[in-house]
Amino acid sequence: MTNKSLRCLSNSPLKIEEGGFRKQLFEHYMCTEDVSAGLERGELIKGVLRINPKKYMEAFVPSPDGSADIFLDGIAARNRALNGDDVVVKVLPSEQWKVLYQNVLKF
């Protein structure tokens, strides 16, 4: 394993016992070099995480232009981030997006 590989691995991710085996709940954190490169290429978006106080499974990061929010569905999608944390997200392909239809009607 190279030094870069060692720097890119986070501490061991949280695992949950399920039926006698361990299931990884969270992804490893990205290393600083990969985050910087992804931001420069426009593959990643940086923002402040907002968690819905009434539905903690829903979180949002504002889009770069501020016109819409990027929806994060579930705790695993937040990858241990808490409300107000600076985060970097990778947007899924559009066919995997979840759209709030009440917002579509506005357009």
Q: Hey, what amino acid is at 5?
A: S
pLDDT of residue 8 exceeding 80, the answer is no
List CB contacts of 19: < 8 A, sequence separation 6 or more. none
pLDDT recorded at residue 17: 58
CA 30-91-46 angle, to 5 degrees, is: 60
CB 61 within 8 A of CB 72: yes
Who has greater pLDDT, 41 or 93?
Answer: 41
**pLDDT averaged over the chain?**
80
Integer Cα distance of 27 and 10 in angstroms: 9
Pick the CATH number of 3-104 from 3.40.630.30, 2.40.50.690, 3.40.50.2300, 2.60.40.10: 2.40.50.690
Q: Where are the domains of the chain?
A: 3-104
- The pLDDT of 47-56, averaged and rounded, is 96
Range in 4-8, 14-18, 45-49, 84-88 the model is least confident about: 4-8
Q: Hey, what amino acid is at 19?
A: G
Provide the whole-model pTM: 0.70
Q: Name the pLDDT band for 19 (thresholds 50, 70, 90).
A: low
CB 7 within 8 A of CB 30: no
